[in-house]
Structure 1
Amino acid sequence: MKKVIILFAITIILTACKNDNDTKVNKKLNVVTTTTMITDLVKNIGGDSINVQGLMGAGVDPHLYKASEGDVSKLVNSDVIFYNGLHLEGKLVEVFEKMKGADKTPIALANELNKNRLIGSDYFASNYDPHVWFNINFFEQFVEKVTLVLCEKDPKNTETFRANEKRYLAELENLKEEVQDAVNGLDPEKRILVTAHDAFNYFGKAYDFNVVGLQGLSTATEAGVQDVQKLANFIIDKKVKSIFIESSVPRRTIEALQEAVKSKGHDVKIGGTLYSDALGTEGTQEGTYIGMYRYNIKTIISALM
């Protein structure tokens, strides 16, 4: 990380004049994003009027992500930077702090949320669970903030940004109805979601699911033997039908849990792979926020029914 920060400081000096000149000419905004969810959001609002570069790709775990030299260059040469915040991108925090001293202020979208509505967590320096995008209402607030910033930075395209915002918010409202209808078809006693780590607490709170993660809130923590055995007993006691792998977390943790249940004379199925900290491959249904949410809810309901 020290090497990256040194490189960052050098790059600031070398590119300062270039950045000043670029902002004065009529070019597309260069927007850099961190997680795939935010990248998809910004593309929906900006469309062809902006250039978007996402640092993280499909299946990338933001908890463990470290900035490369190429990432630092993208950040320095950007006009706008959007990230989740709440220490989700923990290993990028130091880089963002350095940027604040270089007349760049990366925008943490989670700062727009009412802290009284967030779920507390001792695992993060923010003291909050950062997986806020699983509350669609919160994600809509992200949309509104992104639109506001893009309009301020590029007023000539305000009409386009506002039209895209209106369309996308309508799609998110439809998504909320779809998800609620699907959840209503699952008996309340079956609404137990067991995953590799606690990424789905906001989903659980919104749709009345009991969410249990083997690794806790951060994938940086490892599940021990006692954790596995304790959760295995919970699955047996609650007669949980299926447990779930996450695309950005190694499957071995859930497979170990499944074996622990079997060793006690019971059976639990792996209900499928859920997308938690990252979207699926670009160009697929799961490669968009809305498509990911639809895929997840269909997978969860089908496996627990």
Structure 2
Amino acid sequence: MKKHILIFSIISVFFGCKNDKKDNGKLNIVTTTTMITDLAKNIGGDYVNVQGLMGSGVDPHLYKASEGDVSKLVNADIIFYNGLHLEGKLVEVFEKMEKSNKTPIALAEEIDKSTLIGSDYFASNYDPHVWFNIEYFKLFANKVTKVLSEKDPENAANYIENEKIFLSKLDALQEQIKATIETLPQEKRILVTAHDAFNYFGKNYGFEVVGLQGLSTATEAGVQDVQKLAAFIIEKNVKAIFVESSVPKRTIEALQAAVKSKGHEVTIGGTLYSDALGNAGTIEGTYIGMFEYNVNTIVNALK
């Protein structure tokens, strides 16, 4: 509690001070999730400094701002975050900032809400895992490009060119993913994971998606949830279930044990990247690499 009060005290003092200076001639950008960090680096290139608050394996649903995060936010020229209550614990911080000269930019605001997947169990009433729809991520890219160009018009042409290159890579990714998934028969496209992070993926590629937890990992799965999902796995003859990198493995292990207790077997097909990318410097540490890895892991395990 004392730490929480200290953070807001620091915010109150520093956010009253205007800070529009660039570090070494480059814009200072702060991002929340690793997906947005990767996006900002792709668009900004060598013309920006990008600092992400969250690292690999970090659960954005439960993430709380530290004193170090406040320092990053204070010195930021631009702040990008997902929105739709994904970064639930940071909402108060962002609201405080909106009363100052800093206005964090929620990239999900670019999406037509009528196309979003709703939920009766999540605070925003929308599924926030929108990056699993590549068309939505293209909208994110467009917004980042627009904001950077407006803030730094001298390098606008460079940002626009970087966006063009990145979008072409996303187009290629979509074609590759489609081809890979087409090798998996429709009746085998049942994706069981730790929590409901893959609904947009499922909607786009014809998967029935079932999560042990809800849209937010802040909601814990109970015994009845485990038993109900175990019965579903047996009924549908699901061959594999999946761990998520940002959710404790024990939830899926408990599900596997529940299936076994009923005289059936289900394998753990691998670890998927859901709310965070892989380690920096790896293929899975990029948005495109993460998507490729996830699809290959899913298809290979369910075949």
With the length of structure 2 as denominator, give the TM-score of the two structures: 0.97
Separation in 2, partners of 1:219, 1:59: 13
Cα distance in 1 for residues equivalent to 2:176 and 2:31: 28
| SS of residue paired to 2:65 | coil
Name which of 5, 10, 14 aligns with 1:7.
10
The 2-side partners of 1:100 and 1:215 are apart by 32
Secondary structure in 1 matching 2:15 = helix
Distance 1:291 1:123 in 2: 31
Give, as a single letter, the amino acid of the residue that structure 1 aligns with 2:145: T
Q: Where does 1:1-305 land on structure 2 (aligned, <5 Å)?
A: 1-13=4-16, 16=17, 19-20=19-20, 22=21, 27-305=25-303
Give the aligned CA root-mean-square deviation in angstroms: 1.1
Partner Cα distance (2:6, 2:119) in 1: 31
* 1:129-163 per-position Cα deviation (integer Å, ceiling 9, x unaligned): 00000000000000000000000000000111011
SS in 2 for 1:91: helix
Q: CA deviation at 1:120?
A: 0.4
Mind listing any 5+ residue stretches in structure 1 that lack a counterpart? Answer: none
Structure 2 Cα separation of the partners of residues 186 and 28 of structure 1: 46
Question: Structure 1: how far apart are the matches of 2:9 and 2:187?
Answer: 54
Structure 1 residue 271 displacement after superposition: 0.1
- Quote the sequence identity (%): 70
Q: Which whole-Å CA distance do the structure 1 matches of 2:133 and 2:182 have between them?
A: 17
The letter of the residue matching 1:6 is S
Which amino acid in the other structure matches residue 31 of structure 1? Answer: I
Instruction: Give me the whole-angstrom Cα distance separating, in 1, the residues matched to 2:213 and 2:36.
Output: 24
Deviation readout 1:244-281 (Å, 9 max, x if unpaired): 00000000000000000000000000000000000000
Secondary structure, aligned partner of 1:30: strand
Cα contact 1:86–1:124 (8 A) shared by 2: no
Q: Which amino acid in 2 is paired with 1:142?
A: F
Shift of the alpha carbon at 1:123?
A: 3.2
Moved more, 123-132 or 138-147: 123-132
Separation (CA, whole Å) in 2 of partners of 1:237 and 1:2: 50
Q: How many positions carry a matched residue from both structures?
A: 300
User: In structure 2, how many angstroms separate the alpha carbons of the residues matched to 1:297 and 1:126?
Assistant: 28
TM-score, structure 1 normalization: 0.96
How far is 1:171 from its partner?
Answer: 0.2
- 2-side partners of 1:125 and 1:104: how far apart? 25
Q: Deviations over 1:55-101 (max 9, x none)?
A: 00000000000000010111111000000000000000000001011
Q: 2:136, 2:164 → 1: CA distance?
A: 16
* SS of the residue 2:61 aligns to: coil
Query: What residue identity is the alignment partner of 1:10?
Result: V
Aligned partners of 2:278 and 2:285 also within 8 Å: yes
Q: Which runs of 4+ in 1 moved over 4 A?
A: none
